Structure 1
């Protein structure tokens, strides 16, 4: 069901969001802010593909731990022509019999592309990268901008020593708290289990004892996450660091744009000018230290 008219700040249907001019401008300003933080701290810009190999995500235990979230992509099987597939598509869904086996995945988070993109490499030094990408999740239900099938996220990912990975998340946790406070946005920082790992598995139990993931919540909705993965992705992707024995350690910080838009629209009661002004002012305040 659509949430607004043809001239909306935003609208959602079936877990897919369309942003109007005001919300799009807010996303632009937010992304410039988070990207500026990353570049100022020495992160290198990076672009990851929107599609990843199914086999690559399998190497990261994604389908073992989160098959319910998985979305995959295929192409039409045209062996018998395209007429039946076209008819099925017009009716709203293409049956599996009309598709080739799906070898590509729609990633649920941006940083998977970073780890797979660095697979089999030895880093010359501690490395941070930043990128923005589309994420896809098959959820049990969708809820406005809070919970979407397709959404965008800016991430800052660190690869290197354990100390470097930890400094990365500590630094951005501090920036996020200062930014939210400068906006006047009431957020709560809470420990959580890492969505990369099975909530019932041994890694999740360890995280409940020694938390390695934190979320910044607005009204119960996570608008930013702070994650350390120890050497899990370094090990699975064979990423090394020059001069260090064993695989690289990693961490990442993620900012979900649509959820930030939800939080700001709610906090400022739909006053987009006030939201934009507050974000711009907070950006300047944080930049000045």
Structure 2
């Protein structure tokens, strides 16, 4: 049985929770580690917008593939203020009080990377790293394991197919070595998440060659490596400069709060988990 530790967060309501000082320090240490892997490989750091145009995500088939995760944002319709007061006693605003939703809260950090580079010709070997605030509608929420709002660090490769596949091999090795140094037993499994094109030859290709592998501690996926082939390159008009062809993309993703959950369950305290990350970071 995993040890019990002191709560890392404030009162959780609907999957939203504040991190306390110990949890915040460990999250930052983990993020520095993962971002450092990207920097060592030559990744450029960007800050993506906290919201994305819903129409742009629609072009990426997001609402066809992930409608269960989608969360939209909009403003109050000021013309409806008389009928729908701005301080609802129920805690919610009726649809009639809102403007049409044209903005989306992203469920993964990498969407902002692809949209940021839309219409660009990039050199082969491009790497980008981003820390995103991500949001997912879930059927239920539980501690740090499953949150409505959370942090995700990603390192994204853009370029030739060889470059994107090598990126995943490199980060698979890094994750495996880091987990071993942390004494954190992980298993790598092919994920069953839907991909972006469901028809014809691409569907068969995805069945023969999985597009996503997750790294699980117990039953919790705390990281993943994902290959998108040239889907985002085609949809976003991103090309490889020396060939003019649609870029291939791949990414390594880390759900930071989930890493906190796994590490504290494994090591039993915030102090022990933090020390394990410090030691493992210098060993890998």
TM-score of the superposition, structure 2-length normalised?
Answer: 0.93
Instruction: Show structure 1 runs of 4+ deviating over 4 A.
Output: 198-205
Structure 2 unaligned regions, length at least 5:
none
SS in 2 for 1:252: strand
Shift of 1:82: 6.3
2: distance between equivalents of 1:204 and 1:16? 36
Looking at structure 1, the residues matched to 224 and 62 of structure 2 have their Cα atoms a distance apart, in angstroms, of 19
Q: CA RMSD in A?
A: 2.0
Partner of 1:33: 33
1:158 corresponds in structure 2 to 157
Residue number in structure 1 paired with 2:77:
77
User: Matched residue of 1:92: which SS?
Assistant: coil
Residue matched to 2:270: 272
Match of 2:63 in 1: 63
The question of whether the paired residues in 1 share the 8 Å contact of 2:189 and 2:214 is answered with: yes
After TM superposition, the structure 1 stretch with the greater mean CA deviation from structure 2, 154-163 or 244-253, is 244-253
After superposition, what is the alpha-carbon deviation per residue over 1:100-145, rounded to whole angstroms, capped at 9, x for unaligned?
0010000110000011111111113421000101111111221221
Residue in structure 1 matched with residue 169 of structure 2 by the alignment: 170
Q: For residue 246 of structure 2, what is the aligned residue in structure 1?
A: 247
33-42 vs 136-145, which moves further: 136-145
Report the Cα offset of residue 201 of structure 1: 8.7
TM-score norm. by structure 1 comes to 0.91
On the 8 A contact 2:136/2:148 being kept in 1, the answer is: yes
Instruction: Summarize deviations over 1:165-220 as a string: whole Å, max 9, x none.
Output: 01111101100000010000011011113454378997555333212211100011
Aligned to 1:260: 259
**Per-residue Cα deviation, 1:146-168 (whole angstroms, up to 9, x for no partner):** 11111110000010000000111
Unaligned runs of 5+ in 1: none
Q: How many residues align?
A: 279
Equivalents in 1 of 2:91, 2:204: separation in Å?
Answer: 42
